[in-house]
Amino acid sequence: MHKRLTIGYLSRRLFSLVALLVLVLPLLALQAGQTQAAPRPAEIQDYCPGPDGYGYRCCDATYCWLDISTTGTQITDLNDDESVAGPFSIGFSFLFYGTNFTQFFAYSNGLLTVGDTPLGFTYLNECPLPFGMTGTDYQIGIFWDDLDFSISGEAYYQNFATCPVGSPVPCLVVQYSNTAYYGGAPGSAGTWEAILYENGDILMQFLDAGVEEGSSSTTGLDGDWSINQRWGIVYACNTAGSITDGLAVMFGYRSDFACPNDCPLAVRLTSFEAAPAPGGVRISWETASEWDNVGFNLYRSDSREHLGLRLNADLIPSASPGGGQGAAYEFLDTSVPAGVSYYTLEDVDTSGIRTSHGPIELRLWQGHLPLVLRHRCIIRVESGD
């Protein structure tokens, strides 16, 4: 499927062409005595991996879809083919092309911008990047195309203190679901998201690449043209087949920038401890984040070499199922014997994958104070029922 040749669509593209001519012709018709700008350097045509003039590179990352459609805040102001909503809080100071930003705007045409001022019009995607013709720079093109939320589409955003995907730092997730091309069928433009990390990395993921798979869209970053004409990098634009289901692209400028090569565990554990308490031994643990986690099992053994006895009769349910947030848990072991005991915590995700944490060792002697050793580690990942 290519662009929909409706009267409305053609009239919009004609307007776009006129708008571009208004911007471009004054640059071409320079007055006598003026010095014409030098040709744009070849570096601005860079595709991944870069770097561009600022240092941004990109690479194919491991796809780890993070669904926030049931937990995030819906962006309700995106309701037609030329909507902008915001500003919304990023949740942290986000360094982007040398400037720190704390808020962002979302557009119905699959674009984000950071800063205080939104763009004027966005239905004509820029290709390649950097482009330098829009009123506001600092653009993050996820799936920048001529889209229409009045046909179908929802958008959500969510802030995380510890990101469930990628680096365990604060992050912002912006998700577009079931979007439609202007003049197209409901859902024709797919479902995709961008994740902005406090360390400056940006991950873009595509659950559904839509029917055109990038033939008329732009995926990339654009800096401030007025500062540096080489600030911009594009993964792909107007290239059929460039965006596919299950694609993940990571952008970053750090000297140690690298693409993640695996998906995170369902649970990020911050503490796992055992201590004597009235009536037995209290085992406590705390998570920084939980994603696709169903619950936990707790085991006690007299050896490090095996799990031993499962203490809970039923699965200890997650306090944050699917929400990506952390929680605190406690369990009282009322039948602990004297001597050395080893406790292992096991989380179980929605796919049945079991991940063990520990063991932690506890020495409990009759008539003596206990010695509690605390330890945090992940020792195995295995499939299970």
Question: pLDDT at position 368, please?
Answer: 42
Statement to judge: residues 81 and 133 lie in one domain: yes
Q: Is-contact 17 128, C-beta < 8 A?
A: no
pLDDT at 115 over 70: yes
CA–CA distance, 133 with 130 (Å, rounded to integer): 9
pLDDT at 371 over 80: no
Question: pLDDT at position 353, please?
Answer: 80
CA–CA distance, 280 with 75 (Å, rounded to integer): 49
Question: pLDDT at position 164, please?
Answer: 80
Look up the pTM and report it: 0.69
Is residue 33 included in any domain, yes or no?
no
Among candidate residues 188, 221, 252, the one where a domain is terminated: 252
- Which residue would you say has higher pLDDT here, 188 or 5? 188
Q: Which residues pair with residue 248 across a beta bridge? A: 205
Statement to judge: residues 248 and 293 lie in one domain: no
Statement to judge: residues 53 and 202 lie in one domain: yes
State pLDDT tens for residues 180-223.
Answer: 999 999 999 999 999 999 999 999 999 999 999 999 999 999 98
Statement to judge: residues 49 and 91 lie in one domain: yes
Residue 62 corresponds to which tokens in the numbers above?
């491991």
Number of domains in the chain: 2
Statement to judge: residues 189 and 225 lie in one domain: yes
CA–CA distance, 61 with 250 (Å, rounded to integer): 6
State pLDDT tens for residues 59-104.
Answer: 888 888 888 898 899 999 999 989 999 999 999 999 999 999 999 9
Question: pLDDT at position 144, please?
Answer: 95
Statement to judge: residues 218 and 279 lie in one domain: no
Question: pLDDT at position 128, please?
Answer: 81
Question: pLDDT at position 133, please?
Answer: 57
Statement to judge: residues 244 and 274 lie in one domain: no
pLDDT above 90 coverage of the chain, percent: 48
Residues in CB range of 344: below 8 A, 6 or more apart? 298, 299, 301, 307, 308, 356, 357, 358, 359
- Which residue would you say has higher pLDDT here, 284 or 134? 284
Q: Is-contact 315 296, C-beta < 8 A?
A: yes
Statement to judge: residues 379 and 244 lie in one domain: no
Residues in CB range of 161: below 8 A, 6 or more apart? 170, 288, 326
State pLDDT tens for residues 217-229.
Answer: 999 999 887 787 7
Statement to judge: residues 350 and 247 lie in one domain: no
Question: pLDDT at position 147, please?
Answer: 95
Statement to judge: residues 273 and 211 lie in one domain: no
Average pLDDT over residues 23-27: 37
Is residue 50 included in any domain, yes or no?
yes
Statement to judge: residues 211 and 306 lie in one domain: no
pLDDT at 153 over 90: yes
Three-class HEC string of the chain:
CCCCCCHHHHHHHHHHHHHHHHHHHHHHCCCCCCCCCCCCCHHHHCECCCCCCCCCEEEECCCCCCCCCCCCEECCCCCCCCCEEEEEEEEEEEEECCEEEEEEEEECCCEEEECCCCCCCCCCCCCCCCCCCCCCCCEEEEEECCECCCCCCEEEEEEECCCCCCCCCCEEEEEEEEECECCCCCCCCEEEEEEEECCCCEEEEEEECCCCCCCCCEEEEECCCCCCCCCEEEEEECCCCCCCCCEEEEEECCCCCCCCCCCCCCEEEEEEEEEEECCEEEEEEEEEEECCEEEEEEEEECCCCCCCEECCCCCEECCCCCCCCCCEEEEEECCCCCEEEEEEEEEEECCCEEEEEEEEEEEECCCCCCEECCCCCEEEEEECC
Question: pLDDT at position 203, please?
Answer: 96
Q: How confident is the model at residue 9 (pLDDT cuts 50, 70, 90)?
A: very low
- Which residue would you say has higher pLDDT here, 347 or 132? 347
Residue 385 corresponds to which tokens in the numbers above?
């029922």
pLDDT at 294 over 70: yes
Among candidate residues 186, 221, 252, the one where a domain is terminated: 252
Is residue 16 included in any domain, yes or no?
no
Q: What is the CATH number of the domain that holds 367?
A: 2.60.40.10
Among candidate residues 252, 279, 312, the one where a domain is terminated: 252
Is residue 25 included in any domain, yes or no?
no
Q: Which residues pair with residue 175 across a beta bridge? A: 156, 193
Is residue 165 included in any domain, yes or no?
yes
Statement to judge: residues 134 and 223 lie in one domain: yes
- Which residue would you say has higher pLDDT here, 148 or 326? 148
Q: Could you list the residue range(s) of the whole structural domain that residue 304 is in? A: 267-383
Is residue 21 included in any domain, yes or no?
no
State pLDDT tens for residues 215-270.
Answer: 999 999 998 877 877 888 999 989 999 999 999 999 999 988 888 777 776 788 88
Average pLDDT over residues 328-349: 92
Q: Is-contact 75 106, C-beta < 8 A?
A: yes
